[in-house]
Amino acid sequence: MSFCKDCIKGVTHEGTPEGKIEHIGGIETYVATPTVDYPKDKVVLVLTDVFGLSLVNNKLLTDDYARNGFKAVAPDLFNGDPVTPDAFSPGSTFDIGAWFAKGHDQAHTRPIVDKVIAALKAEGVTTFAAVGYCFGARYVFDLAFENIIKASAVAHPSLLKVPEDLERYVAESKAPLLINSCTVDQQYPPESQAKGDEIFANFAPGYKREYFDGCSHGFAVRGDLSDPKVKAGKEGAFKATVEWFINTISAEATKNRLRGLLRETAQPVAVVTSVLSPDASTHPHDPTEQQPRVYHGATLSSFTSIAMDPVPLVTFALRIPSRMAASLNSSPSNSSSDMVINILSAHQASIATSFSRPDLHPHPFSTTPYFLNADGLPVIRGSLGAIACKLVAKGLPLHDLRFLRPQQHRQNDEDEAAEKVSGTANVSELFIAQVTRVEELDVPGDEGHDLPLLYHRRRFTTCIPGDISTAGPS
């Protein structure tokens, strides 16, 4: 691993640090805490350049993250032996290679980071994001490889092996990655930037690279702020990083709270059934031959009625990729109905399970009683009710906010690309369908067949009949 001349080049910025030095896990650490309420279970690790806490710039940056609502900690990565700002002086003969060799490689530095993380976990921190500048970027990647952090950001990274580290990141990490890059950077030059864009092109958790023209390696932490381009680059890189963390670790907290709330509400359980389109089949077929009809079904994680007038409409979401989503998206436009939504009754929990786990139940229709309706679509017997539906909207991508916005509210192409939501969870498509017919079912009179199957607090249940309040709106 090597350094470049820009690794020890820079300018000391003006400002007075507002944080304080604490010993976390026995490591001297600069800690900046928001002055407003903030999530106590989240921390941003600021992994510095080679100047560490000896350079006021690093403390000021850490303070800036706290001003934006994140508790931020910057460990002394060098055991009291950072490169000092004296290296900025004209004519300095500081030998960074010799400094690195005397105890600042990964074998010596990584344990420092691990001690701080372990101590913070013991204090109740559960979610870490990390931003690395130059030298510190190496350890952002290492933490991401092990999925210790939930979100990553680096600026003008040093000590990376390209393409090896980038390929390993894609293969092993679930942390969305932001790279702040620049024009002149021997450590992460334009060809490496382009290679990174190629490698991360389909990285599901999320990837973004910002580029700051007219800037050199080190601009985001120790650039000359008297240069308008450098000043804009430093401020732009910081803004991009804050927004990245807001859209990753802060958004994750909101999702977790929403999940907790929704677990307290009871959701009806439904199974959508259809005929599998040949285009959605995983088996090769001859388009000139008559193909046998293959029935397919999927348990819906969300289903609701959204309108009665002027026509009855329902909506549901399907995770992608899935054969059901692919089949519905390729269903013929001339069919009278594309699917049946079966609203399950209280005794059908096993059916809901079999249609939700194709890995465990590859042939759920073999154990599920059903009949074919007038359109030749399977209807599950014993359901509380079943509705035949015709799609009016196919596969609206819920992971792409720009698609959902009205055309007049959409931004330019570059901004639209940034609107694509990243995350480590599965993504879904939203389907809207018109109800064409309510199927006639013979519902047995025994207990359970006239009550709905509900999903509540991560388990199947049903309701207890009884009047507990006044009647709802008609």
Res 4: pLDDT: 84
Average of per-residue pLDDT across 358-383: 93
Q: Rg for the chain (alpha carbons), in Å?
A: 28
The beta-strand segments (E) located in 311-442 are 313-320, 339-343, 370-372, 378-380, 385-397, 427-438
Bridge partners, 179 (sequence order): 154, 209
- The single residue of 4, 7, 134, 389 carrying the catalytic annotation is 134
Res 229: pLDDT: 98
- Which stretch of DSSP H or E encloses residue 128? strand 127-133
Res 302: pLDDT: 85
Q: Tokens for 383?
A: 């359901």
Please write the tens of the pLDDT for every residue from 177-220.
Answer: 999 999 999 999 999 999 999 999 999 999 999 999 999 999 99
Residue 339, pLDDT above cutoff 90? yes
Res 215: pLDDT: 98
Please write the tens of the pLDDT for every residue from 429-443.
Answer: 999 999 999 998 876
| Residue 471 identity (one-letter amino acid) | A
Question: Lowest mean pLDDT: which of 87-91, 137-141, 259-263?
Answer: 259-263
Please write the tens of the pLDDT for every residue from 73-123.
Answer: 999 999 999 999 999 998 899 999 999 999 999 999 999 999 999 999 999
Q: Tokens for 170?
A: 């894609």
Residue 415, pLDDT above cutoff 50? no
Res 448: pLDDT: 54
More confident residue, 263 or 232: 232
Average pLDDT, rounded, for the chain:
88
Question: Lowest mean pLDDT: which of 60-64, 104-108, 221-225, 445-449?
Answer: 445-449
Residue 417, pLDDT above cutoff 60? no
Domain architecture of the chain: domains with CATH: 5-262 (3.40.50.1820), 267-280+292-461 (2.30.110.10)
Contact 214, 230 (CB under 8 A): yes
Res 239: pLDDT: 97
- Which stretch of DSSP H or E encloses residue 432? strand 427-438
Complete edge-to-edge strand list for the sheet that includes strand 267-268: 267-268, 454-456, 459-461
Positive/negative CA dihedral, 455, 456, 457, 460 = negative
Q: Is 412 exposed, middle or buried (0-12, 13-18, 19+ CB in 10 A)?
A: exposed
- The single residue of 13, 104, 156, 217 carrying the catalytic annotation is 217
- The single residue of 49, 165, 185, 338 carrying the catalytic annotation is 185
Q: Tokens for 49?
A: 């350049």
Question: Lowest mean pLDDT: which of 80-84, 276-280, 349-353, 406-410?
Answer: 406-410
Q: Three-state SS for 376?
A: coil
Res 470: pLDDT: 43
DSSP 8-state secondary structure symbol assigned to residue 168: H
The CA distances from residue 13 to 61, 131, 154, 223, 374, in Å, are 10, 19, 20, 9, 76
Please write the tens of the pLDDT for every residue from 161-178.
Answer: 999 999 999 999 999 999
Concerning whether 217 is annotated as a catalytic residue, the answer is yes
> Whole-model pTM?
0.63
Confidence of residue 331 (pLDDT cuts 50, 70, 90): confident
Q: What is d(CA 180, CA 193) in angstroms, rounded to the nearest whole number?
A: 10
Confidence of residue 444 (pLDDT cuts 50, 70, 90): low
Q: What is d(CA 132, CA 49) in angstroms, rounded to the nearest whole number?
A: 8
Percent share of the chain, pLDDT over 90: 70
Res 380: pLDDT: 97
CA 21 from chain centre, in angstroms, equals: 33
Confidence of residue 404 (pLDDT cuts 50, 70, 90): low
Res 406: pLDDT: 65
